[in-house]
Amino acid sequence: MYTAEEYTDILITYGMAGENVRAAVRHYAERFSERERHPGYNVFLRCIRRARETGSLLPHCRHAGVPVQCRVIDEERILQAFEKNPGNSVRRVARTLGLS
């Protein structure tokens, strides 16, 4: 994964290369020769597609943050609480079951 600055440079280089990915890859390597790594063709394509589709340069990190563990027993207790009283609030059920 690249930094936000590197992804920005990828997009700028792509524009400067007339939106030609292969030329942009070459220009990037020339322009940023001091960097340890240079993104390839597929990295450029993914960055451009992501910017167009999501408006974000950074990839979505699926595994970021604190992992959430939920036991099946807890899930069953939660479902039962809402089956008994569909008008329950999430906070009330969590507090009642000692899960908050």
Tokens 């030609």 belong to residue: 20
Amino acid of residue 5 = E
Total structural domains within the chain: 2
Residues 77, 44 share a domain: no
Global pTM value: 0.59
pLDDT digits (tens, 9 = 90+) for 66-99: 555 667 778 888 889 999 998 989 999 988 888 8
Predicted local confidence at residue 30, as pLDDT? 98
> Which whole-number Å values give the CA distances from 77 to 3, 83, 98, in the listed order?
43, 10, 11
> Where residue 64 falls among pLDDT bands split at 50, 70, 90?
low
**Sequence letter at residue 53:** E
Flag whether pLDDT at 52 surpasses 60.
yes
Is 89 inside a domain boundary? yes
Identify which has the larger pLDDT, 49 or 74: 49
**Residue ranges making up the domain that contains 38:** 4-54
DSSP 6-35: HHHHHHHHHHHTTT-HHHHHHHHHHHTTTS
Instruction: Assess if residue 78 is contained within a domain.
Output: yes
Task: Assess whether pLDDT exceeds 60 at residue 63.
Answer: no
Q: Is residue 39 part of a domain?
A: yes
Q: Are residues 15 and 43 both part of a single domain?
A: yes
Q: Do 45 and 8 meet the contact criterion of CB atoms below 8 Å apart?
A: no
Same domain, 25 and 50: yes
